[in-house]
């Protein structure tokens, strides 16, 4: 039996492996949009989905992706299993792995999804942790590829908090040869270890990683302007402080006008309209946020087929 393959971080995969998943996703998307059918690649396979936090996109897209591929998925909410509270993570992992073929988990502490993977005999997919959000980054680069026809050499500018979404996007960009700029307030940079890793990947792919504080300078020449909430799940206590420091980093019409006229605007959603992004931009002609959200379904298929077959 070959060793199981978890999907915990973009950093764990080579560019070739990421492209294999993306190509599979594109292929399955083409089939799905043309015929409303996919081959039953995951017939008889079950995915257990463990959520410690709310979700719309991740939950529904994984569930539908499994169904389209002939498999089955079920949801376990925070009240049901009490990961690490009602029962030790190592015990949850070993029990659940006896019932299902793969586990998807959305957690607070990144170490918890790592621990699940350590103990589960089946592959574990990270559906977001406080540190990263690799499934989101796959849908993001898929959307960029569809729009521009390439990912290499794109100038991606993430505006706002150096959070979980920023980390995975930065790593995906660096692996696939896109230039990545983070711009936001001092003290809210992506974690230093994640930046160092990104720089190492970028040295190999020939891309550039920049951390800036001036939004106007950052978006000059941008192909992609990307933003996310200023207050991530679990940071509610910091909301008041964050609301004071982030407003200069709002993605509004003025900021977008400073990028290339061909630039697209992205957001992982859920969006806080009027805060990190204005209605005008979110609903404007450069926004691809709903295509991006729908691509979660297709990207998920590429990931699931990779880890489950």
**Residue ranges that bind ligand CP, judged by CB under 6 A:** 55-58, 128, 136, 268-270
Under DSSP, is residue 128 helix (H, G, I), strand (E, B) or coil?
coil
Give min distance, CB of 138 to ligand NVA, in A.
Answer: 14
Residue 212 · residue 181 · CB < 8 Å: yes
Long-range pairs for 244-248: beta carbons < 8 A, 24 or more residues apart: 245/185, 245/188, 246/160, 246/161, 246/184, 246/185, 246/188, 246/275, 246/276, 247/275, 248/185, 248/215
Q: For the segment 231-290, give every residue that binds ligand NVA (CB under 6 A).
A: 232-233, 268
Give min distance, CB of 206 to ligand NVA, in A.
Answer: 29
56 binds, among ligand CP, ligand NVA, none (CB under 5 to 8 A by kind): ligand CP
163 binds, among ligand CP, ligand NVA, none (CB under 5 to 8 A by kind): ligand NVA
Give min distance, CB of 229 to ligand NVA, in A.
Answer: 5
Active site residue 292: no
The structure tokens listed for 165 are 């979404």
Pairwise CA distance, residues 118 & 5, whole Å: 11
Active site residue 106: yes
Tell me which of 6, 24, 130, 268 is the catalytic residue: 268
229 binds, among ligand NVA, ligand CP, none (CB under 5 to 8 A by kind): ligand NVA
CB atoms within 10 A of CB 16: 8
Tell me which of 24, 68, 179, 296 is the catalytic residue: 296
Q: Which helix (H) or strand (E) holds 196?
A: helix 192-205
Give min distance, CB of 268 to ligand CP, in A.
Answer: 4
Q: How many residues bind ligand NVA (CB under 6 A)?
A: 9
103 vs 165, which CB is nearer to ligand NVA?
165
Active site residue 244: no
Q: Which helix (H) or strand (E) holds 115?
A: helix 110-119
Active site residue 24: no
52 binds, among ligand CP, ligand NVA, none (CB under 5 to 8 A by kind): none
Active site residue 37: no
Give me the helix-helix angle, 164-176 and 192-205, nearest 10°: 20
Pairwise CA distance, residues 189 & 11, whole Å: 18
The structure tokens listed for 58 are 């991740």
228 binds, among ligand NVA, ligand CP, none (CB under 5 to 8 A by kind): ligand NVA
122 vs 195, which CB is nearer to ligand NVA?
195
Residue 154 · residue 179 · CB < 8 Å: yes
Q: Which residues bind ligand NVA (CB under 6 A)?
A: 128, 163-165, 228-229, 232-233, 268
């Amino acid at each position: 039996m070959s060793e199981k393959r978890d999907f915990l971080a973009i950093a764990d995969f080579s560019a070739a492996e990421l492209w294999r998943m993306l190509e599979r996703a594109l292929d399955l998307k083409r089939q799905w949009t043309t015929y409303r059918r996919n081959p039953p690649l995951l017939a008889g396979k079950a995915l257990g989905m463990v959520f410690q936090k709310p979700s719309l996109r991740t939950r529904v897209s994984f569930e539908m992706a499994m169904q389209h591929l002939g498999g089955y998925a079920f949801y376990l909410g925070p009240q049901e299993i009490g990961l690490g509270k009602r029962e030790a993570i190592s015990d949850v992992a070993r029990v659940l792995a006896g019932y299902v073929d793969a586990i998807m988990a959305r957690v607070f502490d990144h170490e918890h999804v790592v621990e699940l993977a350590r103990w589960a005999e089946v592959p574990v997919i990270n559906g977001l942790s406080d540190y990263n959000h690799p499934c989101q980054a796959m849908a993001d680069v898929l959307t960029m590829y569809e729009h521009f026809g390439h990912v290499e050499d794109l100038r991606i500018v993430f505006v706002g908090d150096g959070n979980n979404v920023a980390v995975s996007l930065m790593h995906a960009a660096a692996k696939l040869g896109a230039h990545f700029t983070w711009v936001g307030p001092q003290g809210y940079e992506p974690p230093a270890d994640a930046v160092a890793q990104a720089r190492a990947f970028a040295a190999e792919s020939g891309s550039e990683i920049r951390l800036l504080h001036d939004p106007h300078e950052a978006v000059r020449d941008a192909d992609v302007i990307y933003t996310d909430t200023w207050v991530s799940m679990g940071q509610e206590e910091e909301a008041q402080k964050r609301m004071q420091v982030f407003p200069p980093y709002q993605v509004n019409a003025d900021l977008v006008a400073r990028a290339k006229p061909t630039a697209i605007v992205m957001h992982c959603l859920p969006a806080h309209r009027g805060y990190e992004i204005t209605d005008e931009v979110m609903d404007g002609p450069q926004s691809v946020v709903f295509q991006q959200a729908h691509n979660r379904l297709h990207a998920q298929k590429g990931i699931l087929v990779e880890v489950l077959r």
